[in-house]
Amino acid sequence: AQPSRLSAAARGSFATALGALVATIGSAVGLGNIWKFPYLVGNNGGAAFIILYLVCTLLVGLPVMIAEIMMGRKARANAIQTMRALSPSARQPWWLIGAAGALAAFLIMAFYTEVAGWVFAYVFKAISGAILSTDPQVTSQAFTDLVTSPFQSLLWQWIVLAVISLIIVNGVSKGIEATTKRLIPLLLVMLIIIAVRSLTLPGASQGLAFLFTPDFSKITGAAVLTAMGLAFFKLSIGMGTMITYGSYWKEDQNIPTGTARVMLADLSVSVLAGLAVFPAVFAFGFEPAAGPSLLFITIPSVFASMPFGGVFMTLFFILTAFAATGAMLSLLEVPIAYMNERFAISRVKATLITTGLLAVVGAPAALSSSTLSGVKLFGMNFFDLYDFASSNLLLPIGGLFIAIFVGWFWGRKNVFEALTNSGVLKNEGVVRAFWVIVRFVTPVLVILVLLNGLGIIGG
Ligand code: PFF
């Protein structure tokens, strides 16, 4: 095993347990809640998809998040070195999971920074009134102009990279923790204001019916894979982000309750986003199942239809930018922590290297609607390919191996010690339930969903 070149004291860490919790919520809450969740719900049968997603979150997402946080906290190292350090024998290449995770982090960042770039651009467009039109043709044109301009696509992606770099160089506590502590409460307040506005519009109840009446005929193998992929993406698991953040959690922090709170907070934001979007969409007679363009074409027109729409729209895109920022900080932290600890590269240098690489791998995603729109791999452009490969393949496979590692290789004693804080917490029942789920339920479900979603088994 390679020891860290930094002494334990030189490692960053979150200053308080609350700060650790908020930063972790900051990682989970992101574009997933506001951009992906509503359009996937819209495309996959509304409430039936939400139920599937809940099942995936409880039986797969939460157990994997618990596993990651406790591994990181035990090893106090970045994802790759955590897997190496906890591996029962040097001959078992568990570090490969950490390495695959770093790859997934890059793929996700590549398209995530692009969508975040559109969101940042939309904050300014909302303020200037450029997208304040009730005519979807006008808002659609504005979006097309943005994504088909190679210059603007790259520029906004680079602005996003610059903003998160400036935050993350300040370190784990002064950068990530301090920022998320400010952004997350603001985000919640803005989201609640918009949800209340949306819910009190005449005709809002149709949106509620859409969100909460299940139509199980829409549930196919592909929809189940999508729900599981969303659970992984949403909770930032399966790739070492939560291992990295867990390594900054407090020694006496309660992992099962802490992670459950993160999961609930994240779920609340998703549901609130649904409540902010769908009642208003239906109230003004728009189409709910509008795919990814829901956020950038339908929503501006929806806001433009209501009184003071410009104000609500601006708030909406600011809160989305805040959400994206917290999530991107956690994605960047995975390679930065590794370079910093493994090769003693300073945070500033590691940040420069990472964002430089991202500007390169991100460019194909940024240009996938313009210069490279004709380039298709497996029938997808770069943007969709990065999204599909990370959410629906890399994260579930990473999560599967993490569950198998914790359930079958790390040892029952280690797991019980980590989750009870060496016997201090009296939560035997919870720990036993976790032990059964992580060994049997999680791996079997992930395997079945993967095989079925990829068309290898079932119909
Ligand atoms: N959880 C974030 C979201 O839902 O937007 C996305 C994400 C962040 C995925 C960090 C993975 C990750 F490591």
Digitized pLDDT (tens) for each residue of the chain, 459 residues in all: 455 555 555 789 999 999 999 999 999 999 999 989 988 888 888 889 999 999 999 999 999 999 999 999 999 999 999 999 999 988 899 999 988 888 899 889 988 999 999 999 999 999 999 999 998 889 999 999 999 999 999 999 999 999 999 999 999 999 999 999 999 999 999 999 999 999 999 999 999 998 888 888 888 888 898 999 999 999 999 999 999 999 999 999 999 999 999 999 999 999 999 999 999 999 998 888 667 788 999 899 999 999 999 999 999 999 999 999 999 999 999 999 999 999 999 999 999 999 999 999 888 877 877 777 777 777 777 788 888 888 888 999 999 999 999 999 999 999 999 999 999 999 999 999 999 999 999 999 999 988 987 878 775
133 CA distance to ligand 1 centroid (A)? 31
Please say whether the beta carbons of 413 and 420 come within 8 A. Answer: no
What is the reported pLDDT for 29?
Answer: 98
Cβ neighbors of 55 (< 8 A, separation 6 or more) are 227
CA distance 204 to 192: 16
Query: Which residues pair with residue 377 across a beta bridge?
Result: 380
Atom of ligand 1 nearest to the CA of 35: 5
Which amino acid would we find at residue 39? Y
CA distance 106 to 334: 10
Please say whether the beta carbons of 204 and 282 come within 8 A. Answer: yes
Please say whether the beta carbons of 117 and 328 come within 8 A. Answer: no
Report the candidate in 145, 131, 172, 452 with the shortest Cα–Cα distance to residue 314: 131
Structural domains of the chain sorted by starting position, each given as residue range(s) with its CATH number in brackets: 8-453 (1.10.4160.10)
Dihedral of CA atoms 122, 123, 126, 129 in degrees, nearest 10, equals -90
206 CA distance to ligand 1 centroid (A)? 30
> Six-digit token pair at 438?
């992580």
Report the candidate in 69, 395, 32 with the shortest Cα–Cα distance to residue 232: 395
CA distance 124 to 106: 27
449 CA distance to ligand 1 centroid (A)? 21
DSSP 90: T
205 CA distance to ligand 1 centroid (A)? 31
What is the reported pLDDT for 455?
Answer: 77
Which residue puts its alpha carbon closest to atom 12 of ligand 1? 236
What is the reported pLDDT for 102?
Answer: 86
331 CA distance to ligand 1 centroid (A)? 7
31 CA distance to ligand 1 centroid (A)? 8
Give the residue, out of 34, 36, 108, with the most ligand 1 atoms within 8 A of its beta carbon, to mutate for a pocket test: 108
> Six-digit token pair at 79?
């994802």
What is the reported pLDDT for 1?
Answer: 46
202 CA distance to ligand 1 centroid (A)? 34
Please say whether the beta carbons of 239 and 69 come within 8 A. Answer: no
CA distance 449 to 361: 29
Please state, as a whole number, how many other Cβ atoms lie within 10 Å of the Cβ of residue 40.
Answer: 22
Which residue puts its alpha carbon closest to atom 9 of ligand 1? 236
Q: Indicate left, alpha or beta for 322 from its phi (over 0: left) and psi (-120 to 50: alpha).
A: alpha
CA distance 33 to 269: 7
Cβ neighbors of 119 (< 8 A, separation 6 or more) are 31, 35, 317, 320, 321, 324
Buried b / exposed e over 214-234, threshold 16 CB at 10 Å, is eeeeebebebbbbbbbbbbbb
What is the reported pLDDT for 397?
Answer: 94
Atom of ligand 1 nearest to the CA of 30: 5
What is the reported pLDDT for 163?
Answer: 98
Global pTM reads 0.94
106 CA distance to ligand 1 centroid (A)? 12
Q: Which residue has the tokens 């029962």?
A: 88
Atom of ligand 1 nearest to the CA of 239: 13
Please say whether the beta carbons of 396 and 147 come within 8 A. Answer: no
Which residue puts its alpha carbon closest to atom 10 of ligand 1? 236
> Six-digit token pair at 244?
């990295």
Which residue puts its alpha carbon closest to atom 13 of ligand 1? 236
Atom of ligand 1 nearest to the CA of 323: 5
What is the reported pLDDT for 8?
Answer: 54
Sign of the CA dihedral 128, 134, 138, 139? positive
Ligand 1: list residues with CB < 6 Å.
Answer: 27-28, 30-33, 108, 233-234, 236, 239, 241, 327, 330-331
